[in-house]
Amino acid sequence: MVSLLISLFVAFLNSASTNASPFFKLSSRAQVIPQFVKDFAPVVFLDKEEQYYPADIARHIENTAPFITLNAIDPAPAITVDNLETLNTLGNQGDDVFLTSKEIVKDKPAFFTGTKPDNTGMTVGATSCVTIVSDHGDGIVDAFYMYFFSYNQGNTVLFHELGDHVGDWEHNMIRFKNGVPEAVWFSQHSGGQAFAYSGLEKEGNRPVYPKGKKGQENLFTFRKYVDGPTGPRNKNLNRVNVCPDKTKYCKIRVKAAP
């Protein structure tokens, strides 16, 4: 297995703030990222047979074009990491805008592969992760560690491959109380599971997050076949509990077992 060490790109979110654009690059807001968020960042292990690695977000944007549903935006806007949010002015406030591969998907363009981590676990030359911090007050802080893949190859079901999609976000969220990790959320496409920090495998103090091959998360034998990807703004960053607010019953399991 190879490991992916976090964090390459950091943002900060104050859950009580209503100010516009609360997201900032690490270079300009490093002082607001608590040290414990970095110290307890998960270590992600990829399957040794993985073919599609974490991807550089800027390269993904360069190789895609914004569509509104199935129609290309004409004229095509010049989109970069620095102005990507301008797409939120289009297509139902961005909900109907899709970054669509400029090349034929079935040909598996080169950018789908992403960047294989080196022997230190770094995706050298690629910004493939985002960390978002949500401060609830009273010592409660949620740190979201987001992992980006340009391509997710689905599973084969009854001889048909289902669930392939261009662009995929997976994430962990660690809930801290006064700088001490209490619980960890593991996303699994549209769902996920929560575990007590004390019951997880760790490298030092950092929880381990095994990823399945083909970009599919399979730590707890929970598989999704056709649910499409959504970005960080749809991850319920201001959730009340460790689980997303849509979860009817948030069960925090004492111990993780594959």
- Give the number of other CB atoms < 10 A from CB of residue 123: 21
Domain-located, residue 239: yes
Q: Are 143 and 246 contained in the same domain?
A: yes
Domain-located, residue 126: yes
Q: Are 64 and 168 contained in the same domain?
A: no
According to DSSP, residue 54 is labeled: B
Taking the model in full, what pTM does it have?
Answer: 0.80
| Three-point CA angle 213, 54, 225, nearest 5° | 45
Smallest CA-to-CA distance from 231 within 173, 185, 170, 184 is with: 170
Instruction: Provide the 3-class DSSP secondary structure of residue 70.
Output: coil
Q: Are 66 and 42 contained in the same domain?
A: no
Q: How many domains is the chain partitioned into structurally?
A: 2
Q: What is the pLDDT along the chain (258 residues), one digit of tens a residue?
A: 333 443 333 444 443 332 333 444 434 455 578 899 999 999 888 888 888 999 999 999 999 999 998 899 999 899 998 888 899 899 998 889 989 999 998 899 999 999 999 888 889 999 998 888 999 999 999 999 988 999 887 766 777 766 677 888 888 999 999 999 999 998 876 678 899 999 999 999 999 876 554 444 444 433 333 334 677 877 888 899 999 988 888 889 887 665
Domain-located, residue 21: no
Q: Are 246 and 133 contained in the same domain?
A: yes
Domain-located, residue 6: no
Domain boundary among 66, 89, 112: 112
- CB contact set of 174 (below 8 Å; sequence gap of 6+): 37, 40, 42, 142, 143, 145, 181, 183, 184, 185, 197, 207
Domain boundary among 70, 86, 112: 112
Would you say 33 and 26 are in contact if contact means Cβ atoms under 8 Å apart? yes
Q: Are 150 and 218 contained in the same domain?
A: yes
Q: Are 37 and 76 contained in the same domain?
A: no
Q: What is the spatial distance between Cα 24 and Cα 11, in angstroms, rounded to a whole number?
A: 5
Q: Are 93 and 130 contained in the same domain?
A: no
Domain-located, residue 7: no
Q: Are 165 and 230 contained in the same domain?
A: yes
Q: What is the spatial distance between Cα 218 and Cα 202, in angstroms, rounded to a whole number?
A: 18
pLDDT of residue 162: 66
pLDDT of residue 229: 60
Domain-located, residue 196: yes
pLDDT of residue 140: 94
Q: Which helix (H) or strand (E) holds 177?
A: strand 165-177
Tokens 């990222």 belong to 33
Would you say 139 and 131 are in contact if contact means Cβ atoms under 8 Å apart? no
pLDDT of residue 257: 61
Q: Are 42 and 71 contained in the same domain?
A: no
pLDDT of residue 192: 83
User: Which backbone phi and psi does 112 adopt, to 5 degrees?
Assistant: -60, -30
pLDDT of residue 56: 94
User: Which backbone phi and psi does 83 adopt, to 5 degrees?
Assistant: -130, 20
Q: Are 157 and 252 contained in the same domain?
A: yes
Q: Quote the domain boundaries for residue 99.
A: 56-112
pLDDT of residue 254: 87
pLDDT of residue 258: 54
Q: Are 210 and 127 contained in the same domain?
A: yes
The DSSP code sequence of 189-242 is TTEEEEEEGGGS-EETTEEEEEE-GGG---TTS---SSPPP--GGGS-TT-SSS
